[in-house]
Structure 1
Amino acid sequence: MNLKSRAALALAALAFSPLPQALAADYDPSVYVEETPEYTPVEVGSGWYLRGDIGYNVNKSPYDVSFNGTDSEGSRINGGLGVGYHFTDYFRGDINLGFLSHDKYNWTNGIDAIRAESNIWSGMANGYFDLGTIAGFTPYIGAGVGMLHSSRKVDDTFLGISERDTQYAFAYSLGAGLAYKVAQNTSVDLGYQYVSAPGLEYFDIPTGSMEKGLDYHQVRVGLRYDLW
């Protein structure tokens, strides 16, 4: 090999020797990482609550009578169960089924007899405004509408009356109270409620006539559990 050929080979080697390093330096592929969608937990039952109440009817039932020397028997204890929802921090509503009163009257003089029995139930939809919470105490006011169901039977041999009757009548309620949170999801409720059914008929034992209009003044204690 002559001198000219050796010089050409040396120049060729010198020209191509940096090419791999240059290519390696220029090639920098980007790395694509697929983003994982953010996981958002779903709250099951958020805003819903369960409630139970027991109460006392302050005023007398129309069947709570003393007539002909005989007193009627009955209970002023009432109660109910319901489910509700917190629409906002200050407004909530619930639906309740409750028992209002049970009364029974039995009288006889050995010849004539008067026997009467009444049971009254309620189904109400209520709304409440919570007026803010201070030290765990939340005062509220409320109102509701619904129906009363009355089952009544009367047998009066003296007046010749024998009657079996079932009624449904429109009712409304007004109330106020104070709730106290005893645990994270649990509140105790003390309140007053007025329930009225202006169109509900009842049998007036002393006069032996049908009258219309029942109302109840109630003191109630309840327990509310939030399903958070």
Structure 2
Amino acid sequence: MTFKTLLFLGAAALSLPTMASAADMGPIYREAPELVPVEIGTGWYLRGDATYDFSSDLEGSRTLRTPFGATTEPYRDASLDETFGGGGGIGYRFTDMLRADVTARYSQPDFNARTDSSIFCGVGCTVRDRGDAAMWDVMANAYVDLGTLAGFTPYVGGGVGAVHLSYDKPSLEFCSALYCSTAPTKGEDSWRFAWSLSAGVAYDLTKNLALDIGYRYLNVESGDNYKLAGATVGLPGQTGIGSDDGFDRHTISAGLRYSLW
């Protein structure tokens, strides 16, 4: 037996206990990695609001257009009356301080205006404008939350968007010293640019639900209110147009914001 053979047999003998020990061990199981649920919707929230709009003064005019030109007279005592409304929206919180949302609100204030000694009916005659103004506003808003104390979070914000104004069944009432008569007009629909400033405070009712009490100032650009075919008031070939110079709307709101966690 050679020396190399002796070395081989010795190495084989030494490996036998190790092989036997490995054979006695059970199967090796690797621990599966922990599954972490993916958060869906973190930062998103829904909102719903009940609103109250205060009465708004209007600056505007009536224009009588003839084949030979146009004559304009200003409104007097024109206003959009106070009214209740409501709306909702969806938003996203970017940081502890910054959030934004898109909202839509609806209200339907009464529209009223008056002019004495009108170009439509002469000296001593008063013209009154009446109707409803169905108003949708769609706004993109951004807010800064100013910190939370005892569950209360004050905020300030601003927004830009558009207001759809639809004058429903407006009419002109002509009153002289002897009698009054009413002429129906065609209400105008228009989209108008608008911007807003807001402030308020939210209170955390639960982890996901907050009560939001706010104030909003809304500025709406000018547009037409109605058109009147002159033939209906004895002015054939002429057209009457009512328009406003834009208006401000002051609104208080109470609503809920629900965070989608």
2:206 is the alignment partner of 1:183: yes
**Where in structure 2 are the equivalents of 1:74-113 lying within 5 Å?**
76-103=83-110
Q: TM-score, normalised by structure 2?
A: 0.64
Instruction: For 1:123, give the aligned amino acid.
Output: V
The SS at the match of 1:24 is helix
**Where in structure 2 are the equivalents of 1:149-164 lying within 5 Å?**
149-152=164-167, 153-156=169-172, 158=174, 162-164=185-187
Which protein is bigger by CA-based radius of gyration? 1
Partner deviation per Cα, 1:153-209 (whole Å, 9 max, x = no partner): 423263967222100000011011110001111000111110111234446xxxx85
Structure 1 residue ranges without an equivalent (≥5): 1-15, 64-71, 106-111
Cα offset for 1:215? 1.3
Q: TM-score, normalised by structure 1?
A: 0.73
- Which residue of the other structure, out of 232, 242, 245, is the alignment partner of 1:212? 245
Structure 2 residue ranges without an equivalent (≥5): 1-8, 60-78, 113-126, 175-181, 227-240
The SS at the match of 1:191 is strand
The answer to whether the 8 Å contact 2:111/2:132 transfers is yes
**Where in structure 2 are the equivalents of 1:134-173 lying within 5 Å?**
134-152=149-167, 153-156=169-172, 158=174, 162-173=185-196
Cα offset for 1:77? 0.9
Structure 2 CA distance for aligned equivalents of residues 58 and 157 of structure 1: 25
Instruction: For 2:192, give the aligned amino acid.
Output: A
Structure 2 CA distance for aligned equivalents of residues 22 and 32 of structure 1: 25
Structure 2 CA distance for aligned equivalents of residues 92 and 73 of structure 1: 32
Instruction: For 2:186, give the aligned amino acid.
Output: E
2:215 is the alignment partner of 1:192: yes
The SS at the match of 1:46 is coil
Structure 2 CA distance for aligned equivalents of residues 23 and 164 of structure 1: 101
2:59 is the alignment partner of 1:44: no
- Which residue of the other structure, out of 147, 154, 157, is the alignment partner of 1:132? 147
Cα offset for 1:33? 4.5
Partner deviation per Cα, 1:200-221 (whole Å, 9 max, x = no partner): 4446xxxx85221121111111
Structure 1 CA distance for aligned equivalents of residues 224 and 247 of structure 2: 8
Count of residues in Structure 1 that have an aligned counterpart in Structure 2? 196
Partner deviation per Cα, 1:123-142 (whole Å, 9 max, x = no partner): 11111111111111101000
Work out the percentage of aligned pairs sharing the same amino acid. Answer: 38
The SS at the match of 2:14 is helix
Structure 1 CA distance for aligned equivalents of residues 163 and 191 of structure 2: 6
Cα offset for 1:26? 3.9
The answer to whether the 8 Å contact 1:47/1:227 transfers is yes
Cα offset for 1:120? 1.0
Aligned Cα root-mean-square deviation (Å): 3.4
Residue in structure 2 matched with residue 12 of structure 1 by the alignment: none
**Where in structure 2 are the equivalents of 1:25-40 lying within 5 Å?**
25-27=17-19, 33-34=29-30, 36-40=32-36
